[in-house]
Chain A
Amino acid sequence: MEKRPVSFYVLAAFFGLFVLFLYGPTLTIGILSFQGPTGGLTFPMRGVSLHWFRELFEQQAVGDIWGAFRRSFALGLMVMVTTVVVSVMSGLAFRKRFKGSAVLFYMAITSLVIPSILISLGVGLIFNQLGLKIHWATSGFGSQLTWTLPFGLLIMFAVFNRFDKSYEEAARDQGATQWQTIRHVVLPIIAPSLIGVALFGFTLSYDEFARTLLTSGSYNTLPLEVFGMTTNVTTPVIYALGTLTTLFSFGIIAVFLLSVRIMSKRRAKMGSDVGKAV
């Protein structure tokens, strides 16, 4: 191997600082969440304890965070499944030009770049004027989809840009119908990318704030509950909650990444060339 230039070490140091910048604050509140019972929001640590985590489990101290967690989890799953299905379908649609495809594409981009509070406000107004009750599973669900679907669609564009069409042609030459081709050839090849779409769908929903703010109704999702806490909770209990939900997010990410790994390993072992095209 050739010798590394000096610039490598400078850039590596820069990268290291960037990673520290990304993770440092999160690690800090991770440490501070073990603050002793008399400790405050910053250093020094007054002893080490699980006091603030215990506090989280006492309803009256912090409000309904477990209910909020359950709602966010359920909503995350709903958004995830919908995002995967709708993104794949529209990804397939966009492979060919159809009437209005350009308009739909610009709608998706608008959905991505529109200030989130407009979705919140607009959906809230519509439900209000129609006399419907806003609820996290209806208005909140739809509003979050406007955030997750464009991401799913963009990932599908990336996937199909790299997709080798000769697999499909081979299937069709052998007499497969359009549906059989999709079901037995296209979907298995793009499956690992779908895990990526699912990861986006779940985590973007689970952490979504601005689009859910005016559309979730009387039952808060977890991010809304956390935000409510920032205005009236001044103890490290909020760090304990932050640490737990961050660990939960890390767990979810690990599960998704592991399943991608297992899937591609299994493929390699079966000696199939499926997926090489991706």
Chain B
Amino acid sequence: MAMSRHVTGWLQALPLTVVLGAFLIAPIIMIVVVSFWGATEFSIYPAFQFDNYSYLFGSAVVWKVFFATFKYAFITWVFTLAIGFTVAYFLAFHVRTQAMQIALFLLCTIPFWTSNIIRMISWIPFLGRNGIANSTLISWGVIDEPLEWLLYSDFSVILAFVHLYTLFMVVPIFNTMMRIDRSLIEAAVDNGASAMQTLRHVILPLTKPGIMIGTIFVVTLVMGDFITVRFMSGSQKANVGRLISNDISLLQYPSAAATSVVLLITVLIVIGILLRFVNIRKEL
């Protein structure tokens, strides 16, 4: 009992600290260090040079790719937010029994626990040239020729992002909505607010923390992604993650590291801005 609370706290937090120290902090430091190194075709050597960064910022392609990354993040954010909010609103305010709420909520979350890669693959029979979407549209007479932009395009990339990550919006928004005091809504209705007005002036402002948490998830997942873009675009589109993974496959680790540092700083700035609007620990 004589142990101070700081000591007990640290002992309990020690395993987490060790794991994060070894597999999060050390790798970040390593990446920062290596980003100043040089590389030959076959190996990397310690150095202190800014070549990797000057190349990075001097390349028009890199700027374009960063822009594409933000574009993916923004469009995905808009769709996941609109869909996620609507679904959460339905579950929280229109489903009446708690048992039903839990059942439908689980129905929405189960795909989260299955493989993302399989879920990406499962779009192929839909979107391919002779896929379900094209053959249906042709049989309806909407189009005469198969649409080429369904698969291996920005469209399929964003579709996959929305498919994979809407869950990350539904869960926190639903969680925040369930904690809204129902008497506030009654008060709004009693004062003559329409359903739309209640939604706009009562529910939406109170749901902001959940929206922020969902936004943090979606934006970081999309900005850090490399595999969805590669797979769903058939390697025809690029984002920053793919830039890094390409450098890695060419064994250009210093260049990959420099891009990683810039990407990490970008993501952390975005998160830093979002965190100003929400206290995560209080909202769970």
Task: Identify the A interface with B (CB < 8 A).
Answer: 1, 4-5, 7-8, 11-12, 14-15, 18-19, 21-26, 28-29, 32, 41-43, 85-87, 89-90, 92-94, 96-101, 104-105, 107-119, 121-123, 125-126, 129, 142-143, 145-146, 149, 153-154, 157-158, 161, 178, 199, 203-204, 206-207, 209-210, 214, 223, 226-227, 230, 238-239, 242, 245-246, 249-250, 252-253, 257
Partner of A107 from B25, B223, B284 at Cβ < 8 Å: B25
Contact string, B21-51, partner A, CB cutoff 8 A, digits 1/0? 0111111101100100000000000000000
**B245 at interface (Cβ–Cβ under 8 A)?**
yes
Expressed in whole angstroms, the Cα–Cα distance for A15 and B108 within the complex equals: 10
Instruction: Judge whether A119 and B27 touch: CB under 8 Å.
Output: yes
Query: In the complex, what distance in Å separates the CA atom of A203 from the CA atom of B20?
Result: 20
Determine whether the beta carbon of A122 is less than 8 Å from that of B26.
yes
The stretch of B55-63, B116-124, B180-188, B201-209 that contacts the partner chain = B116-124
Could you tell me the distance between the alpha carbons of A250 and B110 in the complex, rounded to whole angstroms?
8
Does B256 sit at the interface, judged by CB under 8 A? yes
Question: In the complex, what residue of chain B is closest to A244 when comparing beta carbons?
Answer: B118
Do A98 and B15 touch (CB < 8 A)? no
Residues in A whose Cβ lies below 8 Å from that of B11: 93
Q: Which residues of B contact A (CB under 8 A)?
A: 1, 5-6, 8-17, 19-20, 22-28, 30-31, 34, 83, 86-87, 89-91, 94, 96, 104, 106-108, 110-111, 113-119, 121-126, 128, 130-132, 135, 163, 166, 195, 216, 220, 223-227, 231, 241, 244-245, 248, 253, 256-257, 260, 263-264, 267-268, 271, 280-282, 284
Q: How far is the CA of A23 from the CA of B104 in the complex (A)?
A: 13
Residue of B25, B31, B94, B125 touching A8 (CB-CB under 8 A): B94
With most chain A CB atoms within 10 A of its CB, the pick from B87, B114, B126 is B114
A1 to B216: give the CA distance in the assembly, Å. Answer: 39
- Chain A residue at smallest Cβ distance from B15: A86
Q: Is the interface of B mostly helix, strand, loop or mixed?
A: helix
Among candidates B30, B123, B128, residue contacting A126 with C-beta atoms closer than 8 Å:
B30
- Cβ contact within 8 Å between B5 and A207: no
Given known pairs A149-B16, A210-B226, the reply for A111 and B107 (CB within 8 Å) is: no
Q: Are B16's CB and A86's CB within 8 A? A: yes
User: What residue of chain B has the Cβ atom nearest to residue A200's Cβ?
Assistant: B113
Using Cβ atoms and an 8 Å threshold, which residues of chain B touch A5? 195
How many A-B residue pairs have C-beta atoms within 8 angstroms? Tell me.
263
CB of B9 within 8 A of CB of A118, answer no
Q: If A25-B126, A116-B224 touch, does A249 touch B114 (CB 8 Å cutoff)? A: yes
Task: With both chains docked as a complex, state the minimum distance between the C-beta of A49 and any C-beta of chain B, in angstroms.
Answer: 17
Q: Are B114 and A246 in contact (CB under 8 A)?
A: yes
Q: For residue A122, which residue of chain B has the nearest CB?
A: B27
- Where chain A touches its partner, the secondary structure class is helix
Q: Which residues of A contact B20 (CB under 8 A)?
A: 104, 107-108, 111, 146, 149
| A223 CA to B5 CA, complexed, in Å | 43
- Docked-complex contact B113 and A42, CB < 8 angstroms: no
* Distance to closest chain A CB from B202 (angstroms): 16
Contact A11 B30 (CB under 8 A): no
Q: If A12-B94, A42-B131, A43-B132 touch, does A89 touch B119 (CB 8 Å cutoff)? A: no
- Contact with A7, one of B22, B195, B271 (Cβ below 8 angstroms): B195
> What 14 additional pairs, Cβ within 8 angstroms, besides A125-B34, A145-B19?
A7-B94, A11-B94, A22-B108, A43-B135, A93-B16, A98-B6, A104-B13, A115-B220, A117-B224, A123-B23, A157-B284, A204-B113, A209-B116, A242-B118
Chain B residues near A245: list those with CB within 8 A.
Answer: 114-115, 118
Q: What distance in Å separates the Cβ of B255 from its nearest Cβ neighbour in chain A? A: 11
Which 9 A-B residue pairs are closest in the complex by CB-CB distance?
A: A122-B27, A115-B224, A98-B9, A93-B12, A25-B122, A93-B13, A158-B284, A113-B220, A203-B113
- Cβ–Cβ < 8 Å partners of A28 in chain B: 122, 125-126, 132
Residues of B within 8 A of A122 (CB): 26-28, 30-31, 260
Q: Which B-chain residue is minimally distant from A210 (CB atoms)?
A: B227
17 pairs across A/B with beta carbons < 8 Å?
A: A1-B96, A7-B94, A18-B87, A19-B108, A26-B118, A26-B119, A104-B17, A114-B224, A115-B241, A117-B241, A117-B248, A121-B31, A121-B253, A123-B23, A126-B27, A158-B284, A226-B117
- Closest chain B residue to A1 by CB distance? B96
Contact A109 B121, beta carbon cutoff 8 Å? no
> In the complex, what residues of B have CB within 8 A of residue A86's CB?
15-16, 19
Q: Point out the residues of chain B lying under 8 angstroms from A252, CB to CB.
A: 113
Residues of B within 8 A of A19 (CB): 107-108
Q: Tell me how far the C-beta of B228 lies from the nearest C-beta in chain A, rounded to whole angstroms.
A: 10
Of B124, B264, B281, which one neighbours A105 at CB under 8 angstroms?
B281
B39 to chain A, nearest CB (A): 12
Q: Which of B13, B27, B119, B130 lies in contact with A118, CB distance below 8 A?
A: B27
Q: Return the contact of B9 from the options A96, A142, A226 (Cβ within 8 A).
A: A96
| Minimal Cβ-Cβ distance residue in A for B280 | A109
